[in-house]
A and B are shown apart, each in its own frame.
Chain A
């Protein structure tokens, strides 16, 4: 029997199927379910609310415009996080290329000059943090996360904020399982050191 759709109680795969049928309400339900996790991941990656809003919007537009490419053997949320992470990482790389080469300035004549102009994500995070001073990201752990390399950051966010398993993270980020474990281990280690430092 036909009945009004109760989208909130349907699993992701069913909502995606309805969205593929052209139901706008199903599209909106997917946004409603994941806007906070995706925005949180992107915000913690780029450390700028307005930019994170734009990148989150880009992520959802990409995902919803290409729902027909979604493979149902993959978890929808993993696919979504994969695109969100790619969007954020692409932005960070582009921003870096706009200013200085990852390998140092092409005009550097000495080894010291190359080193001083080399890509260093930690510096970027620190600068962004300096200018931000936002209440939202102001806690010690948030500041410590900001100093992590972006790939560590996405792994640690997916593991501990989104509660994903190591295997899911490996699938989501297209990384070998061992690499994910290493990244998370190093990230925890760096965070521990950073928090020890703030406690002293």
Chain B
């Protein structure tokens, strides 16, 4: 047995549970020397008491108080990515089902587009026919509206004037409206000055 008692730093090594080179002889000495063993045990009592100390909890609103003082800027791409992530199912089977459904819909749409592209003439013919029908309907509705507003005679005169007549009518309307508004503002300004 080594009769030299343990030095304070050697006691620290044992208390810290070190296992490096040179620690084994110290441990052997402490096992045989009552005095050193007591010193190690005393030191361990302190360490055990320290390691049993609890953590304290701060006020539950700490996070809110901190975040009210921390400016957080969320870039658009991050916000968009998060929005997408929110809509995705969480469980793996649900995600698989969503992926299968999405792929099926996309596949069907693609097939429909390919089918339509392969029949370009038919699509153009049907599209033109629908366009003509819509144009005729809109023109008839506009004529009915103009006749009910202007009367049959005025409408006939407007039709006879052609595009030039229509432009003159619109210009006349705008000029009349402008003069009316300017006149009203002048009257209001004069009465305000008198008041």
Contact = CB atoms under 8 A, between A and B. Distances in A.
Interface in B67-81: 67, 69-75, 78, 81
Given A24-B72, A189-B8, A35 B47 contact: no
B22 interface: no
A141 B12 contact: no
Interface stretch (A37-45, A69-77, A104-112, A115-123): A37-45
B82 to A, nearest CB: 8
B51 A39 contact: no
B58 to A, nearest CB: 4
B66 A40 contact: no
Given A57-B62, A60-B62, A185 B49 contact: no
24 contacts: A3-B85, A4-B85, A4-B88, A21-B74, A21-B75, A23-B78, A27-B72, A31-B63, A32-B63, A35-B58, A37-B55, A39-B56, A39-B62, A40-B54, A40-B56, A57-B62, A61-B66, A136-B56, A141-B46, A160-B50, A185-B12, A191-B50, A192-B45, A195-B46
B85 A64 contact: no
Contacts of A181: 9, 12
A65 B59 CA distance: 21
A24 B75 contact: no
A107 to B, nearest CB: 40
Given A3-B88, A53-B59, A136-B56, A24 B47 contact: no
Given A4-B85, A161-B51, A27 B62 contact: no
Given A2-B84, A160-B51, A161-B53, A24 B9 contact: no
A136 B54 CA distance: 9
B63 A22 contact: no
Given A2-B84, A2-B85, A161-B50, A188 B65 contact: no
A93 interface: no
Given A3-B88, A161-B53, A65 B71 contact: yes
Interface of B: 8-9, 12, 15, 42-43, 45-47, 49-51, 53-59, 62-63, 65-67, 69-75, 78, 81-82, 84-86, 88, 90, 95
Q: Categorize the interface residue count of chain A.
A: 35 or more
Nearest to B86: A4
A181 B18 CA distance: 14
A4 B82 CA distance: 7
Given A2-B88, A35-B58, A188 B43 contact: yes
Nearest to A36: B55
Given A2-B81, A2-B85, A136-B56, A35 B63 contact: yes
Contact of B74 (A22, A160, A195): A22
Nearest to B79: A22
B85 A56 contact: no
A-B interface, 6 closest residue pairs, ranked by CB to CB distance from nearest: A160-B50, A39-B58, A36-B55, A22-B74, A60-B66, A141-B49
Contacts of B53: 141-142, 160-161
